[in-house]
Amino acid sequence: MNKSGPLIRTIRLDDSSIQKILEQLDKADYAAADESVESGCFPYRDSNCVMHLASPSGGSPTSYHVPTRHISNTGMSFLYGSFLYAGACCVMRLTTIYKTTRDVPAQILRCEYVSTGVHEVVVQFLKPIEVSQYCLDAAGCRVLIADDNDSIIRFTDSILTKLNVQCESVKDGQGAVDRALTNTYDLILLDIEMPVLDGYQAVGKLREAGYLGSIVAVTGKTEPDDEQRCLDAGFSSYLPKPLDRDRLASLIQSARHEPLLSSFIGDKSMRPLIDDFVAELPGRIRRLETAFVRSEIDVLQKACRDLKSDAGSFGFGPISTVSAEVETGLLKQLPMDELKKPVTMLVGLCCRAQVQPSA
């Protein structure tokens, strides 16, 4: 479909009024217990979204600015100023989280009246997209919950699942240490009072092993000096009980990062190689962290040199660049304290690396 012509705005309302309508629709979904995350549908606000609508007569398409609402792998919804018939063909120009634009062919599924001069349109993409490239809320987030209270685990898991979080849980501090040193997590929620190892002992063991990830103290201890004690023990931050839904959601948003994709994303022949590289990263992260905390310079230097080469070969430029930065710092014999920041950044980039989207 050739796209041409001026951009038309069909809704005769200002931006703030349109935003209020979108928020009201979202609240209505929430009140109706809409399980949008489970169905793979996420809030999507793209202020630059354009719909190129095919002409029934076969002429040039007409281009419309459309306020977006939801997006998924298979379709999206947006607001439009009048009724559109199901079956009409269009092309949606979408903005990715990397600020690039892509044209996605689609077909209108339905159009529903919202208010005077406002309709909600749902379209189906002719080919699935990888929704995490367009919506940060759709990016995977992995969380380990460590708590000996089953009710707290169920409560936390229930909230986080609705936020598109992959949850695992353990009931003692030693279990948390074992999981953290064998898997990759964006966030660990660690209770203080647990059997085998308490939270202070567990975080101490993890930091001694070189673990650089985010570990949050989740505790009912709320005296004025408790938060500082947690931070001094090695926790990244502090979350008091009883858990607050909004504060927990905010914590997850701060832990969620843009997925890092290979620059060879369009090369199908590279997919198996890229997937194998990403699958090996958790083990490489653990070896790198251990070498750093033990000041094993030669081991750390080789790990960074290998990672620089492999990441660059498979299209993960940021990982290659920071690996080179750490390697250079080691060659210059910089103090390990000065290298902690780039090493932490390197670990974070490796955690963000994702396999090739299948779509």
pLDDT in tens, the chain (359 residues): 555 557 899 999 999 999 999 999 988 875 554 444 445 788 899 988 999 998 877 778 899 999 999 999 999 999 999 999 999 999 999 998 878 899 999 999 999 999 999 999 999 999 998 888 888 888 778 999 999 999 999 999 988 888 888 899 999 999 999 999 988 899 999 999 999 999 999 999 999 988 999 999 999 888 889 999 999 999 999 999 988 888 888 888 888 777 888 998 778 889 899 999 999 998 999 999 999 999 999 999 999 999 999 999 999 999 999 999 999 999 999 999 999 999 999 999 998 888 866 54
Pair (145, 179) in one structural domain: yes
In a domain? residue 262: no
Domain assignment of residue 359, yes or no: no
Is 155 inside a domain boundary?
Answer: yes
Q: What is the pLDDT of residue 124?
A: 96
DSSP character at residue 260? B
Strand-pairing partners, residue 75, are 124
Point out the domain boundary residue: 81, 103, 135: 135
Give the Cα separation of 184 and 344 in Å (integer). Answer: 14
User: Which of 337, 348, 329 is CA-nearest to residue 285?
Assistant: 348
Q: Is residue 261 part of a domain?
A: no
Tell me if residue 327 falls in helix, strand or coil: helix
Q: Are residues 163 and 102 in the same domain?
A: no
In the chain, the number of structural domains is: 3
Residue 18 belongs to domain with CATH number:
2.30.110
Task: Print the domain residue range for 306.
Answer: 268-352
- Residue 99 backbone zone (phi > 0: left; psi -120 to 50: alpha; other: beta): left
Q: Are 130 and 149 part of one and the same domain?
A: no
Same-domain check for residues 275 and 181: no
Domain boundary among 82, 108, 135: 135
Strands 237-240, 187-191: pairing is: unpaired
The pTM of the full predicted model, rounded to 2 decimals, is: 0.69
Q: Are residues 165 and 285 in the same domain?
A: no
The CB-side HSE value for 90 (13 A sphere, CA atoms) comes to: 28
Of 255, 282, 314, which residue is a domain's last? 255
What is the distance between the alpha carbons of residues 176 and 165, in angstroms, rounded to a whole number?
A: 18
Looking at the structure, tell me whether residues 184 and 74 fall in a common domain: no
Give whole-number Cα distances, 41 to 36, 123, 133, 164, in Å: 5, 13, 13, 10
Task: Give the pLDDT confidence score for residue 5 in this predicted structure.
Answer: 56
